[in-house]
Amino acid sequence: LTQTLHKQRNTQPQSGTGDAAKRRANITGAYRMKRSADVTGKRVLLIDDIVTTGATLSECARVLGKAGAEQVVCATVARSAD
């Protein structure tokens, strides 16, 4: 298990941000790859505690894909109806 992403800027908590479009706007560009991380050609398991709109998972998966991940699979502990 390796941490490959780094949150490069502070964001408002997603839980109080509002609808899906506002959550996407809030999180876009917030994450980057750690310098020591190399996911080129690898399958990556992305884990988050809770998913509501999927904005955070989508942004993280986008960053991983841009860095060369072959496949990104997302897993969450819970789904919110919010």
Instruction: Give pLDDT tens digits for 16-60.
Output: 888 889 999 999 999 999 999 999 999 999 999 999 899 999 999
Is a pLDDT exceeding 70 seen at residue 81?
Answer: yes
| Average pLDDT value for residue range 63-71 | 98
Which residues, including other chains, have CB under 8 Å from residue 61's CB and lie 6 or more apart? 46, 72, 74
Which of 51, 53, 37 is closest to 5 using CA atoms? Answer: 37
pTM score, whole prediction: 0.88
**Domain assignment of residue 13, given as a range:** 5-79
